[in-house]
Amino acid sequence: MALAHARVFGQPALQEATPSPYKAYIETYGCQMNFADSELVAGILQAEGYGFTTDPQEADLVLLNTCAIREHAEEKIWQRLKYFQSLKVRRPHLLVGVLGCMAERLRKKLLEEAPVVDLVAGPDSYRHLPQLIRQVESGAKAIHVLLSREETYADIAPLRLSPHRVSAYISIMRGCNNMCSFCIVPFTRGRERSRNWESILQEAQDLAAKGYKEITLLGQNVDSYHDRGVRFAQLLARLAEAVPQVWIRFATSHPKDMQDEVLETIASYPNLTPYIHLPVQSGSDTVLQRMNRGYTAAWYLQRVEAIRRYLPQAVLSTDIIVGFCGETEAEYQETLALMRAAAFDSVYHFMYSERPGTLAARRYKDDVPLEVKKARLEGVIALAQELNLESHRRQVGTVHLALLEKPARKDPRDMAGRTFSGQAVVVRQAADRYPPSTILKVRIVEATSATLIGDVADPSPVSP
Ligand code: SF4
């Protein structure tokens, strides 16, 4: 699943919304699923009477929602805990909790090795947060890291993060039954379970009624969504019909499970977006076998061909890991060759980081030297930028629907957003005429490897 950077809860919108004597500060790391979970946690805390702040110095409760996907992600948290240790000296009543995948992976060790930590709760334990907080308030440390085969939090209303009602996440399932040998997720998020489709539709309709224009469905492997006979393609069709005015995206697909019926369904509904995130991880069959991914490079390219056939406008992104155990130069070259053959529109790239307890850590040596990993990563980054630029250049001169999200970072007179097929776009001189969540027809006039650049092609906003 694609990664994002740390983000802090308690945006201005939330502070006003929930005046309360107790203030929570939530810092989120890792993937979109973790951001969606932080919104769940905020919903649970708000129901307990908490307000929110973006300033940890004002907080009564600090929660770090953590990631364990790579060593580096955990190192960041150990550093951050040192800061909260110093803050706690000045605010002795401050309650510090660690949530998420690192909490699940390390469990009691977090309480033992970081005395600043009062509370540890894994991804399936958020329903227990109020009781855990009370346990700490009564003077004891608190921990809950039991993984569940049922928990989907279907009955809990997330508290939305972003100040603008543009885009929202909906988790449709939790956990993963695949056992990719490099991956810690099955150990930190447990077995796969799908949420009942009615609650997903209800949440989508609530968001549409509140004016949200885009929903992203989240699951570690959405293609294996299954609820009482409703598979992923059926869920997409029911959602598309239930909220026709909302753009629907999803992540993450799995090459071995992605069916043509999903692609056909996307092609049949005007509000299902042709953006596919399909992690390949490697282009070498021998590496894919050691990774226990369950498909070959040829099978993967056949899936890419099907995507391009059903959805000619599709934007295809992927994940690539370099330097996996035993990866030879020849195997690495196969990855570069597959990247060219698939002509990806965007690539998330990572160096292999051994995770304790995974199949790979138990079976193979992490034997690719760091400098070789770094060199191979540079090679993948360079090719990814080339492919990204080619993909963006193909759009110059065309007209796209764009959903505006916020003023552009470089020039706040411009607005940043995404096209219907999911590419980043900057719309020039739009900020003072169009607010976030406006959908516009935009003519693409320039392209960089990072983004498309466009001008308003039709001044009247499009109502979906
Ligand atoms: S599909 Fe594989 S990489 Fe993705 S979460 Fe599951 S085990 Fe991890």
Query: Within a 10 A sphere around the Cβ of 226, how many other Cβ atoms?
Result: 16
Q: According to the model, what pLDDT value does residue 4 have?
A: 40
Measured in Å, residue 394 CA sits from the centre of ligand 1 at: 32
3-state SS assignment for residue 347: strand
Copy the structure tokens of residue 274: 């042709």
Using the atom order of ligand 1, give the atom closest to the CA of residue 179: 7
Residue nearest to atom 2 of ligand 1 (CA): 180
The sign one gets for the Cα dihedral 319, 352, 384, 293 is negative
* Ligand 1 mean position, distance from CA 316 (Å): 18
Residue minimizing CA distance to atom 8 of ligand 1: 183
On the question of pLDDT at 3 being above 60, the answer is no
**Alpha-helix runs per DSSP H in 92-181:** 101-106, 108-113, 129-137
Report the alpha-carbon distance of residue 215 to residue 202 in Å, rounded. 13
Q: What is the pLDDT of residues 149-187, one digit of tens each?
A: 999 999 999 999 887 789 999 999 999 999 999 999 999
Q: Quote the ligand 1 centre to 293 CA distance (angstroms).
A: 9
The helix (H) or strand (E) run that includes residue 227 is strand 226-227
Whether the CB-CB separation of 25 and 14 falls below 8 Å is answered with no
**CA 438 – ligand 1 centroid, Å:** 35
Q: Tell me: pLDDT of 16 over 80.
A: no
CA–centroid distance, 176 to ligand 1, in Å, is 6
- Does ligand 1 lie within 6 Å of residue 220's CB atom? yes
Instruction: Tell me if 254 CB under 6 Å of ligand 1.
Output: yes
pLDDT at residue 5 in the model? 43
Task: Give the model's pLDDT for residue 463.
Answer: 77
Choose among 280, 320, 271: nearest CA to 300: 280
Please identify which residue in the block is written with the tokens 């599709």.
314
Residue with tokens 């040829």: 298
Ligand 1 centroid from CA 33, angstroms: 13
* Each residue's pLDDT tens digit, 302-321: 999 999 999 999 999 999 99
Identify the structural domains of the chain with CATH numbers, from first to last.
2-144 (3.40.50.12160), 167-393 (3.80.30.20), 399-458 (2.40.50.140)
Looking from the CA of residue 176, the nearest atom of ligand 1 is 6
Number of the ligand 1 atom closest to the C-alpha atom of 177: 6
Distance between CA atoms of residues 423 and 6, nearest Å: 22
Place of tokens 């219907």: 420
Instruction: Work out the average pLDDT over 28-45.
Output: 97
C-beta atoms surrounding 243 within 10 Å: 21
Residue 34, helix vs strand vs coil: helix
Token pair 């138990």 in the structure block, residue: 362
With vertex at residue 382, the alpha carbon angle to CA 377 and CA 384, rounded to the nearest 5 degrees, is 90
Nearest to 27 by CA among 93, 85, 99: 99
Q: Does any ligand 1 atom lie closer than 6 A to the CB of residue 65? A: no
> Which pair of tokens denotes residue 368?
């690719």
What is the rounded distance in angstroms from the CA atom of residue 276 to the CA atom of residue 297?
17
Pocket mutation for ligand 1, best pick of 3, 32, 101, 178 (most atoms within 8 Å of C-beta): 178
Question: What is the average pLDDT score of the chain?
Answer: 94
* For range 335-347, the mean pLDDT: 98
Query: Cα(367) to centroid of ligand 1, in Å?
Result: 22
Q: pTM above the 0.85 mark?
A: yes
Q: Please tell me the residue having the least CA distance from ligand 1 atom 4.
A: 220
Query: Per-residue confidence at 22, pLDDT binned at 50, 70, 90?
Result: confident
Is any ligand 1 atom within 6 A of the Cβ of residue 278?
no
Q: Which pLDDT tens digit goes with each residue over 69-120?
A: 999 999 999 999 999 999 999 999 999 999 999 999 999 999 999 999 999 9
Q: Does any ligand 1 atom lie closer than 6 A to the CB of residue 178?
A: yes
C-alpha 188 – ligand 1 centre gap (Å): 11
Rounded Cα–Cα distance for residues 152 and 174 (Å): 6
Taking the CA of residue 186 as reference, the ligand 1 atom at the shortest distance is 7
Q: For residue 19, what pLDDT is reported?
A: 57
pLDDT confidence of residue 10: 44
pLDDT in tens, 283-300: 999 999 999 999 999 999
Backbone angles phi and psi of 101, in degrees to 5: -70, -35
Which residues fall within 8 angstroms of residue 11, CB to CB, at 6 or more apart? 54, 161, 162, 163
Which of 33, 67, 185, 292 should be mutated for ligand 1, with most atoms under 8 A from CB?
185
Contact 159 CB / ligand 1 (< 6 Å): no
Q: Is the CB of 221 under 6 A from ligand 1?
A: yes
Q: Are 150 and 133 in contact (CB under 8 A)?
A: no
What is the end-to-end Cα distance of the chain in Å, rounded?
28
State the average pLDDT over residues 4-27: 61
Per-residue model confidence as pLDDT tens digits over 109-132: 999 999 999 999 999 999 999 999
Cα 30 to ligand 1 centre (Å): 14
> How much is the pLDDT for 20?
66
Give the number of other Cβ atoms within 10 Å of residue 137's Cβ: 12
Other beta carbons less than 10 A from residue 55's beta carbon: 11
- Cβ–ligand 1 distance for 176 under 6 Å, the answer yes
What tens digit of pLDDT does each residue of 402-461 get? Answer: 999 999 999 999 999 999 999 999 999 999 999 999 999 999 999 999 999 999 999 999
Chain centre to alpha carbon of residue 66: 13
The response to whether residue 185 sits with its C-beta less than 6 Å from ligand 1 reads yes
Cα 177 to averaged position of ligand 1 atoms, centre (Å)? 8
CA 403 to chain centre: 19
How many Å lie between the centroid of ligand 1 and the Cα of residue 114? 29
Q: Is 416 helix (H, G, I), strand (E, B) or coil?
A: strand
Decide: 456 and 463 in contact? Cβ < 8 Å. Answer: no
Helices (H) and strands (E) in the chain, counts: 15, 22
Ligand 1 atom, smallest distance to 293 CA: 2
Q: What's the gap between Cα 144 and its chain centre? A: 24
Q: Dump pLDDT digits (tens) for 228-284.
A: 999 999 999 999 999 999 999 999 999 999 999 999 999 999 999 999 999 999 999
363: exposed, middle or buried (Cβ count in 10 Å: 0-12, 13-18, 19+): exposed
